[in-house]
Amino acid sequence: MTTDDGPTGVHSAEGSDPSLPKEPADIGPQPPNLGNSSKRERPKTILALMEYAYKEAGRKLNLSRKDIFDLSLRPEDEQAEIDTVRQLAGRDPLFAVPPSLLSSLAELGSETLVRGRILDLVVVAFASHKLFEGQIERLKEQRPQEMLTAVEVNRAAQHITFSALGLKEESEFSDASRARLRYNAVSALELFRVLRDRWTSRQFIEDMSATVWDTPALPSAYKTAALLATARNTEALSQVSRHFEHVLHNSKRETEKAISQAREQELRAITAEGLGKRLAADLEKARAHAAELAAKANELELRLSVEQSNRVVDKSHHVDDYEALRTQVIRRLSTQAELLGDGLHALRHGSTGVAEEFVDRALTAIGGEVTRLKELDGGVQ
């Protein structure tokens, strides 16, 4: 197959991609090459485009941007288009035509309706190949977690048998043919995602690198240099280089950011460690102070308990003293009240001298009691 490493990096059917083995001439039924494509009448309809693509058998389509944009959509051809693609796809066991068609569509662009019709017909081609049997709903799925992936297609291509592809002899499906099928199937899937699902070049390159651009590194620098120096399309290599250059730049930036964040975290850790030590010291001081306060509280509780006991005793004594004092005061006042009563009686009967004596005795006794009570109160006036 010829190499067409344009912006999409997709290879067509003839020959010299160094990452893929040479394909034997007897692999599967191949439509005849009808001569110089540049002299052939340009396809004017979608049906003619599909017929032309399958006649080219996976070679790079010799089309211009004007050819694609001049294509006419004819609703009456829709069923004929489907039937034609289904019939022609059955004669394309290595799935060579879809990636060639999709790469031209991606390179040249198209009207929205034309692109939609071509993509629908490519789905028919997918559905007509055993490799995608039972996977068409997942091919058309747009939810990322449900989509058919390049890894799954790559794995299926590694295990499909020659009989499943409709080939009669195992020799018709060599390792080189399997590698070609694997490359075509994954490339077609990835181009389909770019064109229909708006995948970025980053997604395309990462999937292709993970699945079909997976040739091990050459052990010799000479061979590596020779391989790269003789590559036919340096633009394709440049696109891949720019992608990984961007990835490397982002990686370096993320690494620098991670290092900066690590240093910041280290500084925070050191600060936190110092703060932790200070807080631990403060905590020890607080615990010591708390223990001291607890000891004082226990001491005060003990003293309070003693004081409460003492107050109970004192209260009992005070009650006794009060009762004794009360009894004594009542007794003495009662006596003086009797003297004053006698003095009042004598005064009423004209015995002034007797009355004065009774009053004088009562006042003397009351004064003495007052003095005694003051002395009991600590001499407070």
Of the spans 1-10, 31-40, 271-280, 365-374, which averages the highest pLDDT? 271-280
CA proximity to 151, closest of 128, 194, 182, 125: 182
pLDDT digits (tens, 9 = 90+) for 41-78: 789 999 999 999 999 998 999 999 999 998 888 889 89
Query: Of residues 281 and 250, which shows the higher confidence score?
Result: 281
Query: pLDDT grade, residue 40 (50/70/90)?
Result: low
Mean of all residue pLDDT scores within the chain: 82
Query: pLDDT grade, residue 2 (50/70/90)?
Result: very low
Residue 201 has which token pair?
A: 């070049």
Query: Of residues 44 and 29, which shows the higher confidence score?
Result: 44
pLDDT digits (tens, 9 = 90+) for 169-217: 888 889 999 999 999 999 999 999 999 999 998 988 888 888 888 888 8
User: What residues contact 102, with CB distance under 8 A and at least 6 apart?
Assistant: 8, 10, 122, 188, 191, 192, 195
Q: With 0-12 CB in 10 A as exposed, 13-18 as middle and 19+ as buried, what is 78?
A: middle
pTM for the model: 0.60
Partners of 45 in beta bridges: 72
pLDDT digits (tens, 9 = 90+) for 86-135: 999 999 999 999 999 999 999 998 888 999 999 999 999 999 999 999 99
Rounded to whole angstroms, the Cα distance separating 24 from 212 reads: 20
- Residues 175, 24 contacting (CB under 8 angstroms): no
The pLDDT of residue 14 is above 90: no
Query: pLDDT grade, residue 352 (50/70/90)?
Result: confident
